[in-house]
Amino acid sequence: MKKNAFYAQSGGVTSVINATASALILEAKKHKNIGKIYAGKDGILGALNEDLIDTSKESISVIESLKSRPGGAFGSCRFKLKDFEANEKEYKRLIEVFRAHNIGYFFYNGGNDSADTAFKVSQISKKLNYPINCIAIPKTVDNDLVLTDCCPGFGSAAKYIATSILEASLDVQSMSATSTKVFILEVMGRHAGWMAAASSLARNNKGDAPHIILLPEVAFDQKNFLNLVKDTVEKNGYCVIVVSEGLKNKKNAFLSESSTRDAFGHAQLGGVAPFIANLITDKLKLKNHWAVSDYLQRSARHIASKTDLDQAMEVGIKAIQYAVNGMNGVMPVIVRGKGKKYSWKIEPAPLAKIANLEKKLPKSYISKNGMNVTPKAVEYLRPLIQGESFPVFKNGIPEIKELKLIKVKKKLKPWA
């Protein structure tokens, strides 16, 4: 019997998450046992609120154009389902909506917390006696999902960071004789330093920027850090630093933690760059500038990695294929091939071994002084930023085609 599909985007978006959506929707149209493909307005909330977008109302050309569109075309959210025993009403509501709209396939495109939600949903069909095939699709610029070699979205963010630090370092170098001596760039990464590590790809020669990379896996040592900054400026005339937002002190506390929490319960971070800048000003009296790449690093579709884009589309295609073949509670993960030449393939992995786990930089990727990365890290990172896939430009900027976002008529009472 033909069943409809529900696709939703979750958490912080990337420059290629819509490429996954595009590939998934186009692949779903090829399978006779999939009816309509609905997208959730604002992620899983679209299911709970019965805000379902009918993607069949969009033209093929618009769906294809999603490959070049950053952000979340259907809206994303930070909303984590509690355990079934703690909030049974949410799960019953999901099933109520799925049943009302004949949804038999659920695709959740997100990171760690999204994998946990997808795993929980994959299990409720047994408890609530409603068959559904649930597939989590990897997406996160943090690159911290386990079992997958890398995460769609990371390669493009890594390419942006490496390019930005290369260009900024040349700016600082040119003015260092009479002006700025130190430049600090803050990048994302709460517990894993993959984003910061990617800045190392800006180097072509020994001594090139970034000179210091501060990772959340290593406790911040103020004395050693300041000595290294001073020595670097004396040697090169300037110093470029990349710092992860999740940098911690020796007491395991974030240097930039605020009292604000997001919907997943995580402390709101941001502001470690000015902290480092003030430290350099106070202790070393060196003129410096700082910047926070923030949303820019994850939305820079104009400089996306072709490798990343290809992987983002392929996980969307495989998600559909896994679902129609009866798989449930799995994620299409990227497996790196063996050999000197970079290659990759997609394989299914159980969500039970992915949800609520986190992949950090291995010790072999971190330098002995804890403020840089090793050649082994660069060897892992380099293939992920290869290739370009520029969007179509119109009037000098990337062209974005608007979606109709026509919602399906509601059949149920509003969800409180």
pLDDT tops 70 at residue 41 = yes
Give catalytic residues, as residue numbers.
142
R_g over Cα of the chain: 22
Considering the domain boundaries, does residue 38 fall inside one? yes
Do residue 257 and residue 323 come from a single domain?
no
Contact 319, 137 (CB under 8 A): yes
Do residue 279 and residue 381 come from a single domain?
yes
Residues in a beta bridge with 214 = 243
Query: What pLDDT was estimated at residue 260?
Result: 46
Query: What pLDDT was estimated at residue 98?
Result: 97
Considering the domain boundaries, does residue 148 fall inside one? no
Do residue 215 and residue 298 come from a single domain?
yes
pLDDT in tens, 230-259: 999 999 999 999 999 999 999 999 987 644
* Overall size of the chain counted in residues: 416
* The residue to which tokens 């790196």 are assigned: 336
Considering the domain boundaries, does residue 258 fall inside one? yes
| Cα gap 332→347, rounded to integer Å | 5
Tokens at 71, concatenated: 């952000």
| Cα gap 38→25, rounded to integer Å | 9
Strand order in the sheet with 239-244: 212-214, 239-244, 182-187, 288-292
pLDDT tops 70 at residue 201 = yes
Query: What pLDDT was estimated at residue 259?
Result: 44
Do residue 176 and residue 65 come from a single domain?
no
Beta strand 182-187 pairing with 239-244: parallel
Do residue 89 and residue 182 come from a single domain?
no
**Four-residue CA torsion sign, 56, 62, 64, 68:** negative
According to DSSP, residue 407 is labeled: B
pLDDT in tens, 126-135: 789 999 999 9
Mean pLDDT of the 172-192 span: 96
The string over 296-329, giving b where at least 16 C-beta atoms fall within 10 Å of a residue's C-beta and e elsewhere, is: ebbbbbbbbbbbbbbbbbbbbbbbbbbbbeebbb
Considering the domain boundaries, does residue 319 fall inside one? yes
Considering the domain boundaries, does residue 340 fall inside one? yes
Contact 229, 172 (CB under 8 A): no
According to DSSP, residue 217 is labeled: T
pLDDT in tens, 53-72: 999 999 999 999 999 999 99
Average predicted confidence (pLDDT) for the chain: 95
Considering the domain boundaries, does residue 416 fall inside one? no
How many C-beta neighbours within 10 Å does residue 406 have?
Answer: 12
pTM of the model: 0.95
273, with CB counted inside 10 A (0-12, 13-18, 19+), is buried
Mean pLDDT of the 196-201 span: 98
* The residue to which tokens 């559909």 are assigned: 320
- What is the share, in percent, of the chain residues with pLDDT greater than 70? 97
Do residue 64 and residue 120 come from a single domain?
yes
| Cα gap 169→210, rounded to integer Å | 8
Give the confidence band of 375 by pLDDT, cuts at 50, 70, 90: very high
Q: Rounded to 5 degrees, what angle do the CA atoms 392, 74, 319 make?
A: 90
Considering the domain boundaries, does residue 376 fall inside one? yes
| Cα gap 222→212, rounded to integer Å | 13
Do residue 241 and residue 210 come from a single domain?
yes
Considering the domain boundaries, does residue 107 fall inside one? yes
Contact 320, 346 (CB under 8 A): no
pLDDT tops 60 at residue 261 = no
Contact 187, 245 (CB under 8 A): yes
Do residue 106 and residue 129 come from a single domain?
yes
Domain total in the chain: 2
Segment holding 283, helix H or strand E:
helix 272-284
pLDDT tops 90 at residue 124 = no
Query: What pLDDT was estimated at residue 178?
Result: 97
pLDDT tops 50 at residue 11 = yes
Do residue 171 and residue 291 come from a single domain?
yes
| Cα gap 166→310, rounded to integer Å | 25
Do residue 121 and residue 199 come from a single domain?
no
pLDDT in tens, 312-324: 999 999 999 999 9
What residue numbers bound the domain in which 118 lies? 3-140+304-357+389-398
Residues in a beta bridge with 37 = 5
Query: What pLDDT was estimated at residue 266?
Result: 53
Q: Residue 142 half-sphere exposure, CB side, CA atoms within 13 Å?
A: 24
Hey, is 118 helix, strand or coil?
helix
Tokens at 138, concatenated: 């990897």
Following DSSP, what letter does each residue of 226-259 receive, concatenated? HHHHHHHHHHHS-EEEEEETT-B-TTS-BTT--S
Q: Rounded to 5 degrees, what angle do the CA atoms 236, 277, 252 make?
A: 110
The CATH number given to whatever domain includes residue 166 is 3.40.50.460
Do residue 295 and residue 169 come from a single domain?
yes
pLDDT tops 50 at residue 92 = yes
Tokens at 394, concatenated: 């119109």
Contact 162, 154 (CB under 8 A): no
Mean pLDDT of the 14-39 span: 98
Query: What are the distances in angstroms from CA 128 to CA 93, 119, 326?
Result: 11, 15, 18
Q: Which residues contact 411 (CB under 8 A, 6 or more apart)?
A: 50, 100, 101
Mean pLDDT of the 276-288 span: 97
**Four-residue CA torsion sign, 66, 54, 104, 34:** negative
Q: Which residues contact 343 (CB under 8 A, 6 or more apart)?
A: 336, 337
Do residue 132 and residue 239 come from a single domain?
no
The CATH number given to whatever domain includes residue 338 is 3.40.50.450
